[in-house]
Structure 1
Amino acid sequence: TELALSCQKLSAFRAKSIFNSGISHCCPFILSLQNLYHSSSISCIQEQRTEGESVTTNYGFLTLSDHRNHEISAFPQKGFSEITSFNTGRAVHGFCFKNGIHLNPIQSNTLINMYSKFNSLKAAKHVFDQIPERNQASWNTIVSGCVRAGLHIEGFELLREMLVQGVEPNIFVFSSLISACNKSDSLFLEGIQIHGFAEKAGFLADVFVSSALLHFYGTYGYMTAARKFFEEMPERNVVSWTSLMMDYSNNGDPEEAIEIYCRMRGAGVSCNQNSFATVISSCGTLENELLGRQVLAHVLVSGFGSNVSVSNALIHMFGSCGDVKNAEYVFDRMPERDTISWNSIISAYSQNGLCEESLRIFKKMRLANSKPNSTALSCLISSCSTVDNLRWGMGIHGLVVKIGLDSIVCVGNTLITLYSESGRFEDSKLSFLEMSDKDLISWHSMMVSSVQNGQHRNALELLAKLCRTSKIRNHVTFASALAACSVPEDLLEGKTIHAHIIRTGLHENLLIGNTLVTMYGKCGMIRAGERIIHIMPERNEVTWNALIGGFVENEEPQAAIKAYKSMRKDGISVNYITIVSILGSWSAPNDLLKVGMSIHAHIVLMGFGQDDYVKNSLLTMYAKCGDFTSSNFIFNEFASKTAVSWNVMIATNAHQGNDLHVANAAMDMYGKCGDMVDVLKILPEPTSRSRLSWNILISGFSRHGYFKEAIETFNEMIQMGEWPDHVTFVSLLSACNHGGLIDEGLSYFSSMMSEFGVTQGIEHCVCIIDLLGRLGRLSEAEKFITEMPVPPNDLIWRSLLSACRNHNNLELGKKAAQHLLELDPSDDAAYVLLSNVCAVSGRWEDVDDLRRKMKSSNIKKKPACSWVKVNNKVSTFGMGDKSHPQKDQIYAKLEDLKQIIRETGYIPDTSFSLHDTDEEQKEQNLWNHSEKVALAFALINSVDGSVIRIFKNLRVCGDCHSMFKHVSQAVQRTIVLRDSYRFHHFNGGKCSCGDYWELYGLYLKLSAFGDASSSGFSGYGYVRQLGFFRLVCTISLIFTPVVTTAIDAVPTEEDFVRYQNTALNWAASSNEESKKTNIRCRTCSSFFTFPGLEGTPVSTGCWSWTDKKLLFFKVRQCVRKCQTLGTYLLDIAKETDPVLVQRIKLQYSGKTANRLIAKQVNHGVNDSALSTTVVIEEELAGYKKSMKEIYVKLVKEFIKNGSPKSLKTDYNVGGKQ
């Protein structure tokens, strides 16, 4: 007993002295008395040490099995396998080493595994080297440790050393090394060797080894080999099925991933969380929410509803399908969230264009102390990849640099896409060059950016650099490179890429095959493209369209027809691109006419007969085959003829020698190019004009805003004995529509059948609906639709929906949109117009819902685009386009124009910016409109004094119309703007449409809270004729006594403030007989009132309605330009009321002093520059009375119902509001 106690005492002192010397700081934890069970034995040691007795050495007597920590007490049986703390494991190892405790093979192997688990591979290698006899487990452990630590090369070196020493690796070594090949781009050959070795050793029967090999081939994109290997596996478990499913999903084939999921369920294999997450993500990629919900039911039954990875996948799926509300629902109810959860919800908002919501979630993420990682920032940057949100993206770029994540590859890739999609190619290129590390997506993104910007050589150079690296190329990369070789000059490079594609085994990919066919067709080697189609394992409509288009480009019509027949035999559906391509293959031979006629019949059966592209192709086909009768018949069937249609007919009739047809075609061409002067120059004599000539002339006048001339031409046509047809009335009703001539329009519509025997068609009904809708008579328009002689089509409902947007009628707008979507569920106009109605009503949530529905249905809004021809070159500009080489000069010019026209009275009308942003951003969005960008470019590059002609594919907005007017006056240039509806000729601050936008815009604002007819208006034409746009703001000056404030010079800001105070005191009174404030410019002796002085130059003025001061005039600008509002009203009166003109002349014909009763009125403004005169008008009492009733009624409506934001102004004077 004494000997034993002495040994215990000596061991304790020895261990204490060793560990306290710094070898291990964990010794007190291991050997402290509180951690040992046998406290009685320890007490004996302490007593003997106190008595000074010597203790005999006995290493290892103090065993670790006495320790209270189960990780340490289990050491004799389980070695280091139970230890979870690196410090604890290191202390135990030190204790064993210093106490001479010999480690058995199991303990040594677990020690190696422990060190490798804590990434201390150097210590693990040291322990491995000290093992005198290594068994298979020792080698397996060290190899697995190297793989786990990322030292893949060292793992393969150990494998070779293991084989040299005659030790056979087991399945765990193979599984580890195959996993190492999956994690590195440069170990593909090693993976092939491991496959061969495993097959030779007979390990492929093991499900773990085969599953690892299956994932290996899928990781490198060899899905054909992976699928074959999967089908040959003798045994499959959930890991095997899930691996193949994940590989298909990661390689861009979600359909196959879903198929594997279905087979997996059919085989009775239970899914795990990874299986569910993969198949749900695949449903999101396909935007198949219905299938995703079915999988969700299986998830809930299986008990994985609260799993984090499954919830993340659900957020991704709902976001991809446009169902952001359900994505929010899943996110809000997650019991715990990881970084992927935040990234998924940010990405969901980003995909649906909700940039502000993405920023809100990002802020919430930071407040939750969840640090943003590269994925979250990438999703956030992606949500800003538009021109409107570019400034947010650039701000996030700054944050990325600040927190040091700009070197992350995925962030750099997103920045490349951000600047590329925003039209900043140079910034995109700079972001790419600044990336220290680049992956495949980096190269591909930059190649796509180069091809989109016409930098084909740059794209090929990028591919060459990529091939010189060790990075793997995929089918998308090669497709982008082949697209850059679609010109004969780059055919050699295209062939080289094709050969490389064959070597890499990607030639069977559908996208690659389609791109190759397109490339060879455009380079004149269509036969090579035909051979590619024959060996393609899969073909779709894009494949056949590319082949047919290639034959057409290479002038092989017979081959194109043969390919068309093969396409139909192949069961591939034909679209309008196919039809246009095949019809374009006809050259001249008459023997093809029968084939063409049979295809024409097929077109009618398929429902493509009304498509304009198809009709133009049919027109060309018949013309080339010499069947001019059929071509003329198709041409006359066009409701709206395009430039292509007229060009074909010009060439056809010129070939026939028909001078009148050529003249008609030339007239229409000049009219559609905005030059009515040349139309009139080549106009035949009235006696020799055909019905087509009259129709072209009426249509030209209508399109250019000459509405009275259009009606006069129609009357002249009748007098000359030419009978109108349905096309004549379409043009005539269109003129009444754009001119606001409702009475005339309804009269012509009713007389079509009764007087002229012309059947009322859908085109004529559309004009009437549009005419009623413009005037706010929506109830009449709705009633007209129910009583139409023909069933309503999409044009009818689209016109009504557009009217609902203008008049803010949300209920009727929804009804019209519903009818429109029933006719065509993919009609983007229905969504866009209804979204505009909701935006005008302030229903931004409904706007977001509509945008999500468009996203889920893959419906895209037609982008705005403008063209301008300068120096015989057509330049195209989009919304906020910054891809032009002169972008810096263009936007600098826009800033200059902004300053210039503001001095002439221009104020941006932000009501045309239908985005839920602040006023500053709305104004900036307006200045990004494509027509403004095109105008700035034309002003920079065109000759002074020349006419600027701009074409736009959509309708011009009211703000751009106002801006063009002011620019034409400021720069003294004639500007012709052609939108989708009509021409606008701007010259000297005036437009040929008669200020349609300003007059109509104000009319809409005044009638926003009631039917215009109930306010005393007989129609928009009446409003236009009276010049009501300016009359409404000065109507009280006509009805009541007027206080005139004369301005000697351009007032300063201080003078203007004093004037405003004066105006408030006079304008805010509720008394019906109250005086109103008026201004007179002494420079030109003109009043801002009605009537003006005789002899004053007629001027339209530059005064405009503002959204802040309803009754305040822009004194500063008007005095500078010596323009007066009163003279404009006098000019209007000359056209409408000759008696009133005579009264005006009598009142101010040199007898002003005798006719006016002047009285000085002091308002407390002591300034020599300001004086007031009370002018009492007595001549126009009868005229004033009727107009005053209209004015008072409008004011009462505004007081009762409120007013739009752009008209709302509160005046607080003397306690009254």
Structure 2
Amino acid sequence: MALSCARGLGAAAADAQFVARLTASAAAGDLLSGAALHAQYAKAHVPPTTFVANHLLLFYSRLALPALARRLFDEMPRPNVFSHNALLAAHAREPSLSLELFARIPDPDVVSYNTLLAAFASAGLAVDALRLLSSMRRGGHAVDGFTISSAVSAVTGTAIASVAQLHAYAVVSGLDSYVSVRNSLMSGYGKGMLLDDAERVFTDMDDCTRNHVSWNCMIAVYGHHGHGRKAMELFQDMARRGFAPDACTLASVLSAFATAKDLVAGTELHCRLMKSKFTRDPHVASGLVDLYAKCSRVQDAWKAFSEVDKPDLVLWNTLISGYSLHEDFSEEALLSFRAMQRAGFCTDDCSFVCVISACSNISSPSQGQQLHGLVIKSDIQGNHISVHNALVTLYSRCGKVVEAKILFDRMTERNTVSYNSIIAGLAQHGHAAEALKLFEPMLNSGYEPTGITFISVLSACAHTGKVDEGWNYFNSMKQKYGIDPCEEHYSCMIDLLARAKKFEEAEALIIKMPFSLSSVGWTSLLGACRTHGNMVLGARAAQEILHLSPSNASAPVMLSNMYASAGKWEEAAKIRKLMRDQGIRKKPGCSWIEVGRRVHVFVANEVSHPRIKEVYRFLEVMSEKMRHAGYVPDIRWALAKDQAAEGEIRLRHHSEKLALAFGLMNTKEGEPILVMKNLRICRDCHNAIKIISAITHREITVRDTHRFHCFSDGSCSCGDYW
């Protein structure tokens, strides 16, 4: 029945009918029907009450559309004393005019604010949530436990200082007595890596006030920190105190084992659960799938999934996420995503983030564009920060950093991850100056940098030789932002110093690293030694790596190549013999290119590809053109004691050149080309592709294990500093 006709039922009845239908649409996740109801209500020219407006806010919030919820909230008129007096005067003149109309003017109340706060919390919009809370307090609205819980949830993981401030406010206002507030504070401190504070909140709670959520929340905190044993002990203590574990409890314990990658403990718990119905529960199965996937037991993850008769959306997403953790199973992630769609599930933001991450692993531009198209067609496009962050990363990894920057610039809402994604993308593509410029706007927008942010920033410095700037950023981590540098940060600094030929400083930093000895720092140093031909230090670095990690194949391979490049064949032969004696196998180098939605893989001196003879002929012709353009083969990178002519042929048949040739043969003139490589590009190929980009007037991007090299008009985005 049309809402305009429903007016005859009375305003309250019409509102109740509207809210019931809107609630049903929200429960079904049906945006179209709910939006149609909203439009129908608006066309009836019936001013909504605050009650109706709050349910509209709740509808858009539950469908994870915070932008629409915020717009609706902002458009709610605020009645004032003038409108009130005008209505009373009108009633005096015409007594038949019902004062009920005044009550129907929507005025945001505590429920309105709390509903929008919850929407911001779900979307991770910390800054918006804090601004709304400030506006709420300025407007004189009473803050309750739900308000604090939502605000804490919104800032969790992004602004730990705000969690402490909200905690202090809750104590002063007496709201910390709410169990829901303490539960949210526990989670906030836990995800902010403040385990002691989370434990303090939990232990300060009276046993009689703790509920199932409290126990589950603290177990989940231990899981977040990878303390599987503590999670298990708390789980047992919970049972002793009369709290029967539910599916959420078991999933949290399994999550703790997954984070700690404690396969033994996780498997033991799985065995204990096999006789119960819990292994068929989608929530528990999600924990099992996550555990096995993170412990590299992907087949066992699939078995845990397959035992559930009716998997829900969360379980599907967990399976896709598990596959996406392993590059070799990225195709399975895409296949599972399609199977989930065929099963009738409506993809949510988590579904898209997981499958986009898998697509990023294989760097498939065509698959990425298809997924982006699905996002645009879906109900969530334009509103989910996490999805857009994943797309920014996807385009960056597919060599389309310009498109990634355009997408970032168009985002109406951003968070720390948004900035981390684009800064990392720009740094990897050689746009270091632009990457570093974004760091200041990020801070000015109120987003606190994370350890991941500094990895990207330090990487940008390393690729441009900005030693002083690198030291400033590195030192500011602890001094200014309270972030303890991890091994990866030290690795970036060692890489920065070694690239700048500051080998003594780099070696000193390795020794000063506040960690137990590992091969990470020495590996970074060895790479730079190979680039600059520092064989004395390179040999020492390789020895340290092999001492700390005997099965590490990269160190002897790199050292052998260093000797071969310098013509020291006896030393190179000794290293290779050592590798054979110790069973260390060199990782075969390969390159691949996507043409016509098919991926073509090439290895050096390829013979198996059906069109390899055409590729070889094409390269012979191209080699002549390159010689005329000034190309001189760098025989040192043939890495074998060959005659010059034989060495040149070896160089010509490097995998990246074969993949590039195939791309040039099978794409339109002027079309950009992307080649992926599983090892670092050699200097001869780098020089050759610069010249090829000028001859063919093509933009050619090569992604190796370190970065993207974007070639155009005879130059590379790395500026030959790599």
Q: Hey, what's the Cα distance between the residues in 2 that align with 1:384 and 1:646?
A: 35
Q: Hey, what's the Cα distance between the residues in 1 that align with 2:284 and 2:113?
A: 34
Q: 1:888 to 1:186 in 2, by over 3 A?
A: same
Paired residues for 1:545-584 under 5 Å: 545-556=491-502, 575-578=518-521
Q: Hey, what's the Cα distance between the residues in 2 that align with 1:422 and 1:207?
A: 46
Q: Hey, what's the Cα distance between the residues in 2 that align with 1:163 and 1:177?
A: 26
Paired residues for 1:453-532 under 5 Å: 455=399, 458-459=400-401, 461-475=403-417, 477-486=418-427, 489-532=430-473
Q: Larger Rg: 1 or 2?
A: 1
Paired residues for 1:115-264 under 5 Å: 141-150=51-60, 152=69, 153-158=71-76, 160-161=78-79, 171-183=110-122, 189=128, 192-199=131-138, 201=140, 203-204=142-143, 206-218=144-156, 221-233=158-170, 234=172, 235=174, 236=176, 237-247=178-188, 253=192, 255-256=193-194, 259-264=197-202
Matched-pair contact (CA < 8 Å) for 2:393–2:404: no
1:296 CA drift (Å): 0.6
Q: Secondary structure at the match of 1:303?
A: coil
Paired residues for 1:841-880 under 5 Å: 866-867=587-588, 876-877=589-590
Q: Secondary structure at the match of 1:888?
A: strand
Q: Hey, what's the Cα distance between the residues in 1 that align with 2:447 and 2:471?
A: 18
Q: Hey, what's the Cα distance between the residues in 2 that align with 1:428 and 1:123?
A: 34
Q: Hey, what's the Cα distance between the residues in 2 that align with 1:162 and 1:560?
A: 67
Paired residues for 1:395-406 under 5 Å: 395-405=335-345
Q: Hey, what's the Cα distance between the residues in 1 that align with 2:504 and 2:522?
A: 15
1:585 CA drift (Å): 10
1:444 CA drift (Å): 4.1
Q: Hey, what's the Cα distance between the residues in 1 that align with 2:519 and 2:198?
A: 35
Q: Hey, what's the Cα distance between the residues in 2 that align with 1:377 and 1:452?
A: 25
Q: Hey, what's the Cα distance between the residues in 2 that align with 1:503 and 1:559?
A: 33
Matched-pair contact (CA < 8 Å) for 1:315–1:328: no
Q: Secondary structure at the match of 1:484?
A: helix
Match of 2:316 in 1: 377
Matched-pair contact (CA < 8 Å) for 1:186–1:470: no
1:139 CA drift (Å): 5.8
Give 1:402's aligned amino acid.
R
Q: 1:123 to 1:196 in 2, by over 3 A?
A: closer
1:501 CA drift (Å): 1.9
Match of 2:674 in 1: none
Match of 1:1040 in 2: none
1:424 CA drift (Å): 5.2
Q: TM-score, normalised by structure 2?
A: 0.59
Q: Secondary structure at the match of 2:587?
A: strand
Match of 2:375 among 431, 435, 440: 435
Q: 1:338 to 1:460 in 2, by over 3 A?
A: farther
1:290 CA drift (Å): 0.7
Q: 1:331 to 1:263 in 2, by over 3 A?
A: farther
Matched-pair contact (CA < 8 Å) for 1:407–1:435: no
Q: Hey, what's the Cα distance between the residues in 1 that align with 2:18 and 2:651?
A: 81
1:365 CA drift (Å): 2.9
Matched-pair contact (CA < 8 Å) for 1:485–1:494: yes
Matched-pair contact (CA < 8 Å) for 2:293–2:301: yes
Give 1:223's aligned amino acid.
I
Match of 1:287 in 2: 226
Match of 1:888 in 2: 600
Q: Hey, what's the Cα distance between the residues in 1 that align with 2:561 and 2:329?
A: 42
Residue 358 (structure 2) pairs with residue 418 (structure 1): yes
Q: Hey, what's the Cα distance between the residues in 1 that align with 2:247 and 2:160?
A: 29
Matched-pair contact (CA < 8 Å) for 1:487–1:523: no
Match of 1:667 among 570, 574, 580: 570
Match of 1:1186 in 2: none
Residue 559 (structure 2) pairs with residue 644 (structure 1): yes
Q: Hey, what's the Cα distance between the residues in 2 that align with 1:123 and 1:946?
A: 70
Give 2:339's aligned amino acid.
L
Q: 1:272 to 1:614 in 2, by over 3 A?
A: same
Give CA deviations for 1:1118-1141 in whole Å, capped at 9, x if unaligned: xxxxxxxxxxxxxxxxxxxxxxxx
Q: Hey, what's the Cα distance between the residues in 2 that align with 1:286 and 1:583?
A: 33
Q: Hey, what's the Cα distance between the residues in 2 that align with 1:213 and 1:490?
A: 37
Matched-pair contact (CA < 8 Å) for 1:483–1:515: yes
1:397 CA drift (Å): 4.6
Q: Secondary structure at the match of 2:75?
A: helix
Q: 1:558 to 1:359 in 2, by over 3 A?
A: closer
Match of 1:843 in 2: none
Paired residues for 1:534-613 under 5 Å: 534-536=475-477, 537-542=482-487, 543-556=489-502, 575-578=518-521, 611-612=544-545
In structure 2, stretches of 5+ residues that fail to align are 26-33, 61-67, 85-102, 530-535, 550-554, 612-644, 655-722
Q: Secondary structure at the match of 1:198?
A: helix
Match of 2:308 in 1: 365
Q: Hey, what's the Cα distance between the residues in 1 that align with 2:359 and 2:565?
A: 45
Paired residues for 1:813-962 under 5 Å: 866-867=587-588, 876-877=589-590, 888=600, 890=602, 894=608
Q: Hey, what's the Cα distance between the residues in 1 that align with 2:507 and 2:573?
A: 37
Q: TM-score, normalised by structure 1?
A: 0.38
**Backbone CA RMSD of aligned residues:** 5.5
Q: 1:419 to 1:140 in 2, by over 3 A?
A: closer
Q: 1:246 to 1:883 in 2, by over 3 A?
A: farther
Q: Hey, what's the Cα distance between the residues in 2 that align with 1:615 and 1:374?
A: 44
Q: Hey, what's the Cα distance between the residues in 1 that align with 2:305 and 2:527?
A: 53
Matched-pair contact (CA < 8 Å) for 1:541–1:574: no
Q: Hey, what's the Cα distance between the residues in 2 that align with 1:291 and 1:187?
A: 30
Q: Secondary structure at the match of 2:142?
A: coil
1:504 CA drift (Å): 3.0
Give 2:272's aligned amino acid.
Y
Give 2:600's aligned amino acid.
D
Give CA deviations for 1:942-1000 in whole Å, capped at 9, x if unaligned: 9999889999xxxxxxxxxxxxxxxxxxxxxxxxxxxxxxxxxxxxxxxxxxxxxxxxx
1:462 CA drift (Å): 1.0
1:261 CA drift (Å): 3.5
Match of 2:269 in 1: 326
Q: Hey, what's the Cα distance between the residues in 2 that align with 1:398 and 1:541?
A: 38
Give CA deviations for 1:102-146 in whole Å, capped at 9, x if unaligned: 99x9x99989977776679879989x9999xxxxxx965344333
Bigger relative CO (Cα 8 Å, ≥ 6 apart): 2
Percent identical residues: 11
In structure 1, stretches of 5+ residues that fail to align are 1-22, 24-89, 132-137, 587-595, 617-639, 652-661, 674-698, 704-733, 735-794, 800-861, 868-875, 898-941, 952-1217
Match of 2:244 among 305, 309, 316: 305
1:383 CA drift (Å): 4.8
Q: 1:613 to 1:522 in 2, by over 3 A?
A: farther
Q: 1:643 to 1:156 in 2, by over 3 A?
A: closer
1:575 CA drift (Å): 4.5
